[in-house]
Amino acid sequence: MDGDPSQDVVHASVIFLVDAKLVLLQPTKDNEGALKYDMRIIASNVEYYAFIRDQGICRNTAETPHPMSALEETGTDDIRTEGAIHDSLWFFNGSGIQCWTDTQELLKSASLESQKETAQPISIPVDFYPTAIALRSGVVIGLEPELVQRRDTQFAFFRSSIRVRWPAALWTLETKAE
């Protein structure tokens, strides 16, 4: 029955992060109708991933106060209804942020019935360690260690400073959503 939460486990495609690999398990039914999973590695060297749909930021825009929302009167609802980024999957692989804008397309291309190769993610190179992807603001936020030397101390120390990157790819995705 559609919409029945107890049947979610039958229809769900599970994504695991095992060591540094992003593994996709897609449910299929074999000849006898039993549930089986097709396993596929969709990414390697993954430090961490972020699945935007889990974060709930785009679903109820009225409930999540955001500093930008005071300036924007319209447009926040459009992200929810259009869903261009709402279903995206992001991960950091050490050299940059990779993003599949539509997880459904990724699942389709990764299924064993598909003849094509797995969909390629969009790549956003960063030269700092990204810690958050702020979708509403369209920026990637991260940290970079700085080595600080002071004349009044005899030691040097590292300090983390915040870096922000405005990737052009992200702005293109946002304008597509509106």
Partner 1 sequence: MTPTGENSLLIYTFDNNLYHYIISSSKPSVQLVQVGQIGLHGIVRAPTRVRAVTWYIPEYQLCT
Q: What is the C-alpha separation between 134 and 4, in angstroms, rounded?
A: 32
Contacts with partner 1 in 19-78 (CB under 8 A)?
A: 19, 25, 37, 39, 48-49, 51, 53-54, 56, 59
Taking CB under 8 A as the rule, does residue 7 contact partner 1? yes
Among 42, 58, 99, 107, the residue binding partner 1 under the rule CB under 8 A is 107
Alpha carbon 18 to its chain's center: 17
Q: What is the C-alpha separation between 28 and 36, in angstroms, rounded?
A: 5
Q: Among residues 101 and 103, whose Cβ is nearest to partner 1?
A: 103
Contacts with partner 1 in 139-168 (CB under 8 A)?
A: none
Q: What DSSP character marks residue 12? A: P
Q: Among residues 51 and 157, whose Cβ is nearest to partner 1?
A: 51
Binding residues vs partner 1 (CB under 8 A):
2-3, 5-9, 11-19, 25, 37, 39, 48-49, 51, 53-54, 56, 59, 87, 103-104, 107
